[in-house]
Homo-oligomer: A and B are copies of this chain.
């Protein structure tokens, strides 16, 4: 492997001059520039990017922490980041945690070790304190409401969104409303639970634990929901479902069981994924790809001013309410 020094020798110039040519810096005579180019061609030279990184203290790598990838919430976020990464000449390093804290720590370790320039945490298990501990080592961006904390974020106010959706259903006459989430202990889900408490309290409705359906991630999880509902003595008449795949699964299963939607059960999905459009599911649009892009932009932003980027959501009325 020929290196920059060999190149300099071949071209009869200094290493600095080669470096200037390589990086398109000014102050190189046409003559020498060409000499360098010739040498590059002859030698089939290739920069060792690690050396560049070591020298510059930067890798153009952004770490992305996700629990898993096989879920629209995460792969749509990643999709958005990918677009932005491409445009800014960065690459994404994927860190799949499966919600194991040790892997989240590993990711932060990478930041500390300077293997990545910044870290985007899409969802986490670890506590706030841990994150703060790693803050000095580089930008950490979160996809959750961090207002009041010293970490930039792009997020949806799920408390607000849920309250809005509950009210909408209430106006439509529903009094027994439940919801489906992926992971009860998540930060976002805690906000949703707060909204649920607030809503039921405001309207003097009972706070029904049974109306909360956990572990709803994919289309096929809709089956469990319908199954449980049909077994209930006093089932909910409306459901907020935090992703459209699950909503679609619910709608499909309901059909098979002759449960009328929205007659017997009203459904509001989330995300406005293509499947919601196709199946005519009323949904709350969350621009996940866009959120991914913005998360990434935070990650590479130079100015150290912390930005909390709340993303508004929008109700798309279709046929399931």
Contacts and interface: CB of A to CB of B under 8 A. Distances in A.
Interface stretch (A78-86, A164-172, A192-200, A234-242): A78-86
A306 interface: no
A220 interface: yes
A48 interface: yes
Contacts of A218: 274-275
A79 B69 contact: yes
A130 interface: no
Contact of A115 (B50, B72, B95, B96): B50
A160 interface: no
Interface stretch (A53-61, A145-153, A173-181, A307-315): A53-61
A30 to B, nearest CB: 27
A46 interface: yes
A255 B251 CA distance: 13
Interface stretch (A9-17, A33-41, A106-114, A208-216): A106-114
Range of interface residues on chain A? 35 or more
Interface string A22-48: 000000000000000000000000111
B219 A114 contact: no
Interface in A233-280: 248-249, 252, 255, 274-275, 277-279
A278 B69 contact: no
Contacts of A249: 278
B79 A113 contact: no
Given A72-B70, A75-B69, A82-B96, A114 B220 contact: no
A47 B93 contact: no
A246 to B, nearest CB: 12
Interface string A92-120: 11111000000100000010111100000
Contacts of A95: 91
Contact of A54 (B54, B64, B112, B114): B54
Interface of A: 46-51, 53-54, 59, 61, 64, 68-70, 72, 75-76, 78-79, 82-83, 86, 91-96, 103, 110, 112-115, 137, 218-220, 223, 248-249, 252, 255, 274-275, 277-279
17 contacts: A48-B54, A49-B113, A50-B115, A51-B54, A64-B94, A70-B76, A75-B75, A78-B94, A82-B94, A86-B103, A91-B93, A91-B94, A92-B94, A93-B94, A219-B248, A220-B278, A249-B278
Given A46-B113, A49-B115, A91-B110, 16 more contacts: A47-B113, A48-B113, A48-B114, A50-B53, A50-B114, A50-B115, A69-B75, A70-B72, A70-B76, A79-B96, A82-B94, A94-B94, A219-B219, A219-B274, A220-B278, A249-B278
Nearest first, the 10 closest Cβ-Cβ pairs linking A and B are A82-B96, A49-B113, A220-B278, A220-B274, A50-B54, A49-B115, A92-B94, A50-B53, A69-B75, A70-B75
